[in-house]
Amino acid sequence: MPAFVNLHNCLLVALTAHLMMTAVISVFARHKVEYLSLAWIVGIFSAVILGTLIFETTIANSNPGLLHPAMLLTLTATIFLQSIYPLSITMPGFLQWGRSMRYALPAVILFAIYGLMLLVGHRPIQVRSLADISDNLFTSDLLLRFAMLGLSIYYIVNIFRLPRVMLRNPDTPHYLFGYAFALGLSLCIYIWLTIDYSIGHLCCWTLIFTAVNAYLCFRTLETIAIGLPLPEIIEEAEQQQIENIQDLQRQEEDDFNEANHHRFELMEQWMQHNKSAWTDFKFGRDQLCTATGINRHLMLQSVRSQGYYDIHEYISRHRIAEVQRMIRCGRATCVQDCLDAGFASTKTLRSSFEKFTGKNLDNYLRQQQKP
């Protein structure tokens, strides 16, 4: 069998990735309960993949045919588990167990019925062609399979509807829209797999399934990283004298980190005492370099040493802090007023505010204006 369709290798990749994601998300879930559901879901997938790895020889040598119940049961369970995390974010409380269980109730009933049938000695009908389907169309086995397939399609339609549902909550992370779309496409591929089964298709879907879950995991970690603390912006009463560049060069030879920290302090002092300059939307990196006498390379090193991604983010965070001050002081009562902090458009302002504070600007304005 070619390496790219080797089931053992694909399952090992999927298991390793899901175990890593489970471990990382579980650590964050200890501090923020909102990640607990994702940790459990990825952990369940890890256990399922481990079980699949144990029976890989049987799976590799099997030929389940069309719409095998094991494939359909796996499809329905996977759809529910993958969709419950973005659904839980749009609900008013954490996970809303009652609502989630009502959503899962049809699948639970079908699973229970099929389990009872197996306990009483029922064996699935082997369906190899469309003729086999027509010959056994009204048997309980085929009817249950069509019910599971129909329920799976219903869940997939709901997944494609998730972006519209999530728009009702303005605080929903934007990456969930891409996740919902990729999730729906991957499950459509799985339905194709239940009809036209092959080891190659199963391996490809396993890798796609892992990639979709990894996307959700790493984007979740990205939102955590954005929320990491940065140096507090403190206003100073007097501006200190900027030392000449030779002093900074000598200091850099003695202690590179201390030189970066000192440059950052000089930039902070200039930003505190020249607000009228950077509240002009035309002000940018080049103007800051010229004003402070620090070249781009050294300035980038300085801001990154303090946790900023680049100089543009550094300036934008000062502007967002100014927006918050304007709103708290009553100098800004609408989004248009906030443009005076140095943003060229309301679109840029809204996206930057949400990125750096994790809050919706319009909601923040309404909250601050309440008596």
Cα atoms found within 13 Å of the Cα of residue 273, Cβ hemisphere only:
15
pLDDT of residue 2: 45
Any idea which residue has 């801001």 for tokens? 303
pLDDT digits (tens, 9 = 90+) for 114-127: 888 878 877 777 77
Alpha carbon separation from 325 to 43, 129, 268, 332 (Å, rounded)? 43, 69, 17, 9
pTM above 0.85, yes or no: no
Is 320 within 8 Å of 259 (Cβ atoms)?
no
Burial track 97-111 (b if 16+ CB lie within 10 A, e otherwise): eeebeebbebbeebe
- Give tens-digit pLDDT for 134-159: 777 778 778 888 888 888 888 777 77
In this structure, what are the phi and psi dihedrals at residue 333, rounded to the nearest 5 degrees?
Answer: -115, -5
Per 3-state DSSP, the chain is made up of helix, strand and coil in percentages (nearest 5) of: 75, 0, 25
pLDDT band for 242, please (50, 70, 90 cuts): very low
User: Which tokens belong to 364?
Assistant: 């923040």
How deeply is 201 buried, as exposed, middle or buried, from its count of CB atoms within 10 A (0-12, 13-18, 19+)? middle
- Segment 227-232 shows an average pLDDT of 58
Q: Does 331 score more than 80 pLDDT?
A: yes
| Tens of pLDDT, residues 307-321 | 788 889 899 999 999
Determine the average pLDDT of the residues in 39-56. Answer: 86
Contacts of 227 (CB under 8 A, 6+ apart): 358
Amino acid found at 322 = E
Confidence of residue 75 (pLDDT cuts 50, 70, 90): confident
d(CA 206, CA 225): 28
